[in-house]
Structure 1
Amino acid sequence: MKKWVWVVATLVVALLIGGYAYSNHHATAKEYQAAMTNGRTALTNKDYTQAESYFQNAMKRRLNDKTAQTYLTQTQHFVSGEDALDARKFSRAQGRYQTVKDTKNGAKVLIQRATKRLKQLKVIQANVKQFKKLLKQAASENQALNYGTSNNTLDELFNNKQFQKVYYKDLYTQALALRKANNAGQASSSSSASSQTTASSSASSTTTSSSKAAATSNSNSNSNSSSSSTKNTGASLTSSESQAAKNYKGSNEYTVTKKQKELNGKTITASQISLARKTINAAGGQADAMSDQDIRVALQQADKKGMSLTKYTQQYLK
């Protein structure tokens, strides 16, 4: 009798344990499915942080589950691509999106979004190349003191609606700075031209007055010319010395060659020298203490180094 009691008791315990195990397994399976479903919903809603949390929870319910792991990794790569795109690190973003797209048995919604991003990146990178080319051209024109032409080139950028998008923020900032420099250069050039006009007018007036004074004193000069000529004979060059002076073709340490007065094969004008002085002073240099040839050398060296005169002054003339 006792033997049968123990048998029955054992069977009851086994059934209870088995039932609990089955019930627990069933509950865990339901929790796993719920986590995966919620994760997919979060992806659809672009709530990637929540999606990652759900997929991690699913992996806790079913250890080493490949599907949950694939979805989690794919989501993390897509988020990394989005961060890189926002930071304008286009090559890195492209790599992340390509990984998402190539994921086998991954979330279809992420594959679709990654494919769309890759097409967008292709356009962005092409625009960056074109915008950099125009910006480089405008910078070269600025260095050649062609401020108006440089601004015209910049207008091609500013008139392009794509250029105003956040992806090109760094280039946009550079373009704004260059336009500001061009405007300052044009203002200085106009001021210099105005000063030269005033100086020319003053010189003309002075010349007229001098001519009248010369006419008045001309007769006195003629009356004294014979005696002055006699007195100055002793200080004059002999005929052989005069001929030697004419025949001299050499140069001394102060001689400036034609090439030293040119920039890119063109003679550096007085207007360019005047404008360069103002640019050097504005950049913190001491242009007033420099000769015209010093200014020419500064322009030539800045051009040789591929730098603006302002940057050259700040680096070498301060």
Structure 2
Amino acid sequence: MKKILIGVAAALALFSLAGCQPKGNDSASAASAQAAQTTSSYTAIIRAGRDAVSNKAYDQALGYFQSALLTKSSDKKATALVKQTKALIEAQNSLSKNSFNAAKSSAADVKTVTGGDSSLNSVADELLTTINKVQTTYKAYQGQLQKAQTAYDQQDYAGAIATLNQLVNQSDIADSYYATIYTGALKLQVGAISAQNASGSTAGNGSSASSSSSNAASGSGEYSVDKNDTEINGEKITAAQIQQARKDLQT
């Protein structure tokens, strides 16, 4: 009975509203008011998106700009903002994978969007600067790791350790951009120290030292590596990261 009464009340409300619909000039006024409300909502959404850009919350900004497109279908400004933000996110994702050329290309795309926003152009400029800096540093650190690997292969463990100590003590080496190099350096550092210790204990027996170094990763000896040096941002270094670092050295 209660459901029936609610249904009747709803029907009466709809009937009443239908009878109150504006006609003639009233209809035009309602359409104008609706357009003004749409414009107001669109403006608020675009503003929220730009605020997200200022806070470097680019995924959030993209959501706002896509919502603006739903409010005003085919709007040129919102379309441009969506394209710019997508390119910016792609550039950041490529940089996180050390795909520097792809990152540069996507960052450049941000600035080529017709009718784009100047704030996103500025973000793209800053990102390009970061990409170039990271690429230069990555190559330098990779060169140091290769130098240490060569010394290790030649059983110059002291030389390898000296180079690795310098590398792992770089102020930014634990940044996510250099994770594969950092894990590779730590792995090689442990192996070099183990091999040097084994070499000393066998009076310089090269074959014995080589055998010991090949098992350094799984040995249970004590190495001069701090616990914090086996972590990146508080997370344990994984075997996959170490394997990737080895692959990077071979390319």
Q: TM-score, normalised by structure 1?
A: 0.55
Higher CA-based Rg:
1
> How many pairs were matched up?
197
1:148 matched to which residue of 2?
158
Contact 2:45 2:65 in 1 (8 A): yes
1:85 matched to which residue of 2?
95
2:205 matched to which residue of 1?
271
User: Using the alignment, how far apart are the partners of 2:47 and 2:63 within structure 1?
Assistant: 12
User: Using the alignment, how far apart are the partners of 1:273 and 1:23 within structure 2?
Assistant: 87
The answer as to 2:107 corresponding to 1:97 is: yes
User: Using the alignment, how far apart are the partners of 2:164 and 2:216 within structure 1?
Assistant: 23
* Aligned pairs for 1:240-259 within 5 A: none
The structural deviation recorded for 1:279 is 5.5
Please, which of 195, 198, 203 is the counterpart of residue 185 of structure 1? Answer: 195
* Aligned pairs for 1:106-117 within 5 A: 106-117=116-127
Matched to 1:122, the amino acid is: N
1:157 matched to which residue of 2?
167
**Deviations 1:104-131 (Å, cap 9, x if unpaired)?**
3322222112111111111111111121
| Root mean square deviation, CA, Å | 2.7
User: Using the alignment, how far apart are the partners of 2:55 and 2:119 within structure 1?
Assistant: 10
3-state SS of 1:46 partner: coil
The structural deviation recorded for 1:13 is 3.9
Contact 2:141 2:181 in 1 (8 A): yes
User: Using the alignment, how far apart are the partners of 1:276 and 1:138 within structure 2?
Assistant: 16
2:185 matched to which residue of 1?
175
Please, which of 27, 52, 56 is the counterpart of residue 37 of structure 2? Answer: 27
User: Using the alignment, how far apart are the partners of 2:136 and 2:170 within structure 1?
Assistant: 14
Higher fraction of helix: 1
User: Using the alignment, how far apart are the partners of 1:36 and 1:22 within structure 2?
Assistant: 21
Contact 2:198 2:212 in 1 (8 A): yes
The answer as to 2:77 corresponding to 1:67 is: yes
Which protein, 1 or 2, shows the higher relative CO under an 8 Å CA cutoff with sep ≥ 6? 2
Matched to 1:271, the amino acid is: N
3-state SS of 1:162 partner: coil
| Pair 98,166 (structure 1): closer, same or farther in 2 beyond 3 Å | same
User: Using the alignment, how far apart are the partners of 2:211 and 2:48 within structure 1?
Assistant: 70
| Pair 161,46 (structure 1): closer, same or farther in 2 beyond 3 Å | closer
1:18 matched to which residue of 2?
28
**Deviations 1:122-158 (Å, cap 9, x if unpaired)?**
1111111121222112111111111111112223312
**Deviations 1:33-57 (Å, cap 9, x if unpaired)?**
2222232223223333443333223
The answer as to 2:142 corresponding to 1:132 is: yes
* Aligned pairs for 1:228-243 within 5 A: none
| Pair 63,171 (structure 1): closer, same or farther in 2 beyond 3 Å | same
**Deviations 1:216-251 (Å, cap 9, x if unpaired)?**
xxxxxxxxxxxxxxxxxxxxxxxxxxxxxxxxxxxx
User: Using the alignment, how far apart are the partners of 1:19 and 1:280 within structure 2?
Assistant: 83
Please, which of 66, 89, 93 is the counterpart of residue 56 of structure 1? Answer: 66
3-state SS of 1:163 partner: coil
The structural deviation recorded for 1:66 is 0.6
The structural deviation recorded for 1:162 is 3.2
User: Using the alignment, how far apart are the partners of 1:160 and 1:146 within structure 2?
Assistant: 22
Over the matched positions of the two proteins, sequence identity in percent amounts to 27
**Deviations 1:157-178 (Å, cap 9, x if unpaired)?**
1233233322111001111111
User: Using the alignment, how far apart are the partners of 1:48 and 1:275 within structure 2?
Assistant: 52
